[in-house]
Structure 1
Amino acid sequence: MTSRAAPEAVKVKRRSGSVGQKQTADIEELTSSGNKALQEGRPQEALRYFRDALKAAEQLQDSRVLRACSFNLGAAYVEVGRPRKGLDFLRHAQPGPKADRLPDLQFNLALAHDALGQSREAATYFLQAAQLYRSQGDGCSEGDACVEMSRCYSRTRDWALAAQGYLRAAESYRVANMLDYAATALSEAGSHMTQSDQCNQEDIIGVLSECLSLMGSITDPRTLGELYLSVGVSYCRLRSFQEAVQCFQKALSPAAKWPPLLPKVYHNLGAALNSMGQFRSAVDYHRLAAGLYGSQGCRGDQARCFSNLAFAFSRIGEEEEAAESLILALQGFRDTGDYLAQAQVCEVLAECYLVQRKQHKAVQLYKQALSALSHCQDSGGIQDQLVERLTATLQQSLTIGPQ
């Protein structure tokens, strides 16, 4: 979210005398140039303009102009990643009780606190900004403030508060007739509700259904694909896999027009079909997702696809195909340094070899799993289980004899 400077160039009361007139003209021109640079994504340039404007304002005996210039400079400092310095200028922008009635000031104070990692303080300022924007009838800005507030609550894992913020954002965007933004806020609300123990399934489904009802007016393929994907994932968390599959299938067409999204849709569609027991259909989507992730260099995601593919193969009795997929998954997790995933894949692959009566290979895999777990914290329970299985497999190997 971008910092918000004054919506218009500072208006300075004209003073008599050529020197005063030149100063006021300079401040107005510098502020206008700074606002333009900020809006066009040139924050460093905006910073220079606002700094020069403040220097010029200090020579005038006009506290209102000085506060406005301090506000703009503070917002610019937040934008360039110097929130602590920005906070100092923002606090000087409007001393006294009137500061609580300026929504853009509250918004920028929130951004500064958020950038400093002070999520709860930031959420409080974003809420104040949202309330002030509402009093001004600015639904768009109110929605933006509520979204930022929800992100703060999400970072502190306050899922219910985050969901409430997104629901309020959706309401504000609908008032502003920004239906694509409203749908996105609803999808986020549903996602956070699924992570909260304070929300029941009926309420969550209601929010997801409301989101879907708004999507008929959205034409941008990326937005449409991402929304269907997000809602589908929420349905999966509710274990409503039939509804999830329908969402993922609807995401296929718009995702095809936005290639980075397509493997995620394939990946989730395959996983949902796995959960429904439709393993043969799932195999094709796992393969497609793995291929696309590979071409994008996403080794971790590709490895997870191979794991899902192995599960599907094992459930339809194709153990050799399952083992080959697990080997590919294991290599991917090694490439990304995911030791816990390595241990899990080694354990499953060992079980595949046991089905094929290849005890020697199973022993090697259990040992590799234990080695991978040595790099993980809090793996005691899993480690004990693996030791037991390794011991049992070694005893079985001795009974069967050399392979």
Structure 2
Amino acid sequence: CRSNMASEESPPGEEQVKRSNRRQQKTTGEVEDRTWAGHGALQAGRPQDALRCFKQALQAAAQLQDSRVVRACSFNLGAAYVEAGQPRRGLDLLRRNRPGPKAERLPDLQFNTALAHNALGKYQEAAAHFLRAAQLYRSQGDGGSEGDACMELGRCCSRTQDWPQAVQSFLRAAESYKMASMLDSAAAALKEAGSHMVQSDLSNHDDISSVLTECLSLSSSVSDPSILGELYLSVGVAYCRIRCFQEAVSCLQRAVEPAAHAKVLHNLGAALNGAGDFSSALELHRLAARLYGSQGCRGDQARCFSNLAIASSHLGDDQEAAESFILALQGFRDTGDRLAEVQVCERLAECYLRQKKLQKAIELYKQALSALSHCKEDEGVQDRLVERLTAALQLSLTEHHPSSFRCLM
């Protein structure tokens, strides 16, 4: 949130009429001291401390009988309430202390009002205020604050699934941050833009690739290892989704160093599968599965087992492939992921066919059809499963009942 330091535009005391009364001077100093302390608490992420300081500032300001100072202190308190998770109370304070028509020209007021609406789930109202705040910050030449407003606008549009507006907001945020020489923030904005371009399925391959490339070009400005790891992870996943597997592998390998966790290893393994480097992927799949298992993430662990099975199958190790598919199948059943269950049943059946285990393959095709009945899936999948089940049944009959025809000699 944004807090003011005394009036809507200036620190306490700077534009106030000088008081000759010593008591009033002391009160003015108290307002200033409490306001600075509240601002510092907000910056440090201590909203409860900020609330206490701004309440004290407001109580002191009431003794000065200066409406501008009282209004500014009320504004700060409202902003702190929003930050402290009490958006309704904060919004009420912000509304009651609007300085008339001038309120429409105060970017901080627009920004905090947007935060309150956003916290209350009123995303359309929040988006309108974030947009207004961004425009006002731009008119003041405050690129950093404009970028912050655009980032919040992008997240707001993402919640309402307005993907084109979300992408445009993140791209505008990146430009604003670059103008303010905040290159690490610009990289984060481009990361969000790229992810949303992929998710929206409305952008072409070249546009997405261009944004991801620009994001990576700014990665050297990111000094926090964990943030850098998340950036490489996000860009790597986006490259995977547009099937640029070599670029994905490069990003995800760099993500492992600053933030070696299950999600990075999972996606790196998947990217190596996509690139056809199954040997390198094997250990990553195993490690990611173990890490997810220790965290109790059954669904993600099952995906890693499935990826491990696919890699093992391509390397000709049908035994490990079958064992891994069985583990994946159990995980998907535990989490109720029916569509994934169908896919694993089908692949495990194919694995059993290669091992000449016809009855197990037949049973898996039947299980796949049963699971498919709970899915909203097109008929093509059902037709394919029925066709393969029929072929397996015919093959089984042929083996059990060989032809009795004998050639005459």
Residue matched to 1:6? 4
* Cα distance, 1:145 vs structure 2: 1.3
Q: Among residues 64, 67, 76, which one is paired with 2:68 in the alignment?
A: 64
**Residue 103 of structure 1, CA deviation:** 1.5
Query: What is the alpha-carbon distance in structure 2 between the residues aligned to residue 380 and residue 202 of structure 1?
Result: 30
- Cα offsets for 1:6-52 (capped at 9, x unmatched): 24663354556566555544433433332232222221232233234
Q: Which residue of 1 aligns with 2:404?
A: none
- Tell me by how many angstroms 1:392 deviates: 6.7
Establish whether residue 42 from structure 1 lines up as the match of residue 46 from structure 2. yes
Give the whole-Å Cα distance in 1 for the aligned partners of 2:201 and 2:180. 31
The match for 1:256 is 257
State whether residues 130 and 142 of structure 1, in contact with CA within 8 Å, keep that contact through their aligned partners in structure 2.
yes
Which of 388-397 and 296-305 deviates more? 388-397
Task: Deviation per CA, 1:155-203: give whole Å up to 9, x if none.
Answer: 2222222222122211222222222221221222222223345433222
**Cα 1:111/1:300, change in 2 over 3 Å:** same
Q: Aligned partners of 1:237, 1:135: CA distance in 2, in Å?
A: 38
Q: TM-score, normalised by structure 2?
A: 0.84
**Equivalence for 2:244:** 240
1:287 CA drift (Å)? 2.6
Equivalent residue number for residue 285 of structure 1: 284
Match of 1:226 in 2: 230
Aligned pair 1:135/2:139, yes or no? yes
Mapped partners of 1:228, 1:333: distance in 2: 28
Report SS of the residue matched to 1:195: helix
Distance 1:129 1:354, change over 3 A: same
1:107 matched to 2:111? The reply is: yes
The question of whether the paired residues in 1 share the 8 Å contact of 2:166 and 2:196 is answered with yes
1:165 corresponds to which residue?
A: 169
The answer (yes or no) to whether the contact 2:5–2:32 under 8 Å persists in 1 is: no
After TM superposition, give the deviation of residue 79 of structure 1 in Å: 0.8
Deviates more, 1:70-79 or 1:316-325: 316-325
Q: What corresponds to 1:322 in structure 2?
A: 321
TM-superposed CA distance for 1:90, in Å, is 1.1
Residues in 1 aligned to 2:303 and 2:5: alpha-carbon distance in whole angstroms? 48
**Kindly tell me: are residues 38 and 214 of structure 1, through their superposed partners in 2, closer, same or farther at Cα, counting changes over 3 Å?**
closer
Q: Match of 2:307?
A: 308
Distance across 1 between alignment mates of 2:70 and 2:372: 61
Corresponding residue number in structure 2 for 1:178: 182
State which drifts further: 156-165 or 286-295. Answer: 286-295
* Alignment match, 2:349: 350
Q: CA deviation at 1:106?
A: 1.2
Q: Could you tell me how far 1:389 is from its partner in structure 2?
A: 5.9
> Which stretch shows the higher mean deviation, 208-217 or 10-19?
10-19
CA distance in 1, matches of 2:345, 2:108: 54
Higher alpha-carbon deviation: 333-342 or 44-53: 333-342
Give the Cα separation in 2 of the matches to 1:96 and 1:148: 26
The yes-or-no answer on 1:126 pairing with 2:130 is yes
Q: What is the Cα deviation at residue 290 of structure 1?
A: 2.5
Tell me the amino acid that sits aligned with residue 291 of structure 1: R
Listed one character per residue, the Cα deviations across residues 199-245 of structure 1 (whole Å, up to 9, x for unaligned) are 33222222222222222444443333332222222222222223222
Contact 2:299 2:331 in 1 (8 A): yes
Q: CA deviation at 1:271?
A: 1.8
Q: Which residue of structure 2 aligns with residue 86 of structure 1?
A: 90
Q: What amino acid does structure 1 have at the position aligned with 2:359?
A: H
The answer to whether the 8 Å contact 1:13/1:24 transfers is no
CA contact (8 A) 1:169 1:182 kept: yes
Greater CA drift, 237-246 or 55-64: 55-64
Distance 1:14 1:388 in 2: 90
The 1:70–1:315 alpha-carbon spacing in structure 2 relative to 1, beyond 3 Å, is same
Q: What's the offset of the Cα at 1:360? A: 3.3
Distance 2:359 2:207 in 1: 52
Report the number of matched residues.
394
SS at match of 1:65: helix
**Mapped partners of 2:319, 2:301: distance in 1:** 19
Using the alignment, how far apart are the partners of 1:17 and 1:225 within structure 2? Answer: 58
TM-superposed deviation, 1:332 = 2.7
- Per the alignment, in what secondary structure is the counterpart of residue 259 of structure 1? coil
Task: Return the alpha-carbon distance in structure 2 between the equivalents of residues 68 and 384 of structure 1.
Answer: 69
> Judging changes above 3 Å, is the alpha-carbon distance between structure 1 residues 213 and 45 closer, same or farther for their aligned structure 2 residues?
closer
Summarize deviations over 1:85-136 as a string: whole Å, max 9, x none. 1111111232322112212111111111111112222122112222222232
One-letter amino acid of the structure 1 residue matched with residue 87 of structure 2? P
Instruction: Give the residue type in structure 2 aligned to 1:193.
Output: M
Q: Alpha carbons of 1:44 and 1:218: their partners in 2 closer, same or farther (altered >3 Å)?
A: closer
In structure 1, what is the equivalent of residue 407 of structure 2? none
Change (3 A) 1:37 1:333: same
* In structure 2, C-alpha distance between the alignment counterparts of 1:355 and 1:392, rounded to whole Å: 14
Cα pair 1:14 1:20 within 8 Å, conserved = no
Distance 1:127 1:215 in 2: 27
Contact residue 339 and residue 375 of structure 2 kept, 8 A: no
Answer yes or no: is 1:150 the counterpart of 2:150.
no
Kept in 2, the 8 Å contact 1:222–1:257? The answer is yes
Computing the radius of gyration from Cα coordinates, the structure with the larger value is 2
Can you give the 5+ residue segments of structure 2 that lack an aligned partner in the other structure? 402-409
CA contact (8 A) 1:300 1:332 kept: yes
- Quote how far apart the aligned CAs of 1:400 are: 5.0
Measure, in 2, the Cα distance between the counterparts of 1:34 and 1:217.
31
The 1-side partners of 2:396 and 2:319 are apart by 21
| 2:5–2:72 CA contact under 8 A, matched in 1 | no
Provide the C-alpha distance between the structure 2 equivalents of 1:183 and 1:58, rounded to a whole number of angstroms.
45
Q: In structure 2, give the amino acid aligned to 1:4.
A: R
Distance 1:304 1:73, change over 3 A: same
- Residue range with higher mean Cα deviation, 354-363 or 365-374: 365-374
Structure 1 unaligned blocks of 5 or more: none
* Displacement after TM superposition at 1:394 (Å): 6.0
